[in-house]
Amino acid sequence: MTATHCIIHGKVQSVFYRDWTVATARSLGIAGWVRNLPDGTVEAQLEGERETIARMIEAMRGGPPRAAPTHIDTREVPGEGFDTFERR
């Protein structure tokens, strides 16, 4: 298991990006969380197998139909042992 912290930039608030992220992460079996930040970005912590997290990040580059992510900053972090994926 590994954990990756993400900051998603672009048009990612008020476009159902967090709800989409929750549904997509759960469908892939990823644990963690997602939340909006005051600067207009979205922050997420993804925990799971390295290959599955890579698939999730690739999906996040597109997001839901109304979103327009421009880039995602990622860094590996210590896992926190989440059991599910939640919206914060």
Which listed residue (18, 55, 61, 87) is catalytic? 18
* Active-site annotation holder among 36, 55, 66, 87: 36
- Distance CA(32)–CA(1), nearest Å, equals 12
CA distance 35 to 16: 11
Give yes or no: 18 in active site: yes
Q: Which residues contact 81 (CB under 8 A, 6 or more apart)?
A: 47
- Annotated catalytic sites, by residue? 18, 36
